[in-house]
């Protein structure tokens, strides 16, 4: 579910907080917990968080490029 949420965010570019919360709940995730889980994975994989923002949730740009490159290599 976290990967699907991240994929939606990558596709959207950014989501307002309310929209992000709606999408997270669609995947049966708690929004703040999802951010924490995704960012913990980011620290493990990239040594930094993946998601940023308060009012608008975005994928950190250079991490976005790494994620897209990894997706293209699958």
Q: Please state, in angstroms and rounded to a whole number, the distance separating the CA atoms of residues 40 and 46.
A: 10
* DSSP classification of residue 74: -
Q: What is the pLDDT of residue 73?
A: 53
Q: Please state, in angstroms and rounded to a whole number, the distance separating the CA atoms of residues 69 and 45.
A: 14
Q: What is the pLDDT of residue 70?
A: 77
* DSSP classification of residue 60: -
pLDDT tens readout for residues 19-63: 999 999 999 999 999 999 999 999 999 999 999 999 999 999 989
Q: Which residue has the tokens 């949730």?
A: 57
Dmax (CA) for the chain in angstroms is: 33
**Residue 72 confidence class, pLDDT cut points 50, 70, 90:** low
* DSSP classification of residue 53: -
């Amino acid at each position: 579910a976290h990967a699907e949420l991240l994929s939606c965010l990558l596709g959207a570019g950014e989501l307002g907080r309310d929209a992000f919360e709606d999408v997270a709940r669609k995947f049966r995730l708690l929004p703040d917990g999802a951010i924490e889980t995704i960012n913990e994975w980011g620290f493990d994989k990239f040594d930094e968080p993946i998601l940023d923002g308060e009012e608008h949730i975005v994928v950190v740009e250079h991490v976005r490029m790494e994620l897209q490159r990894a997706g293209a290599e699958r």
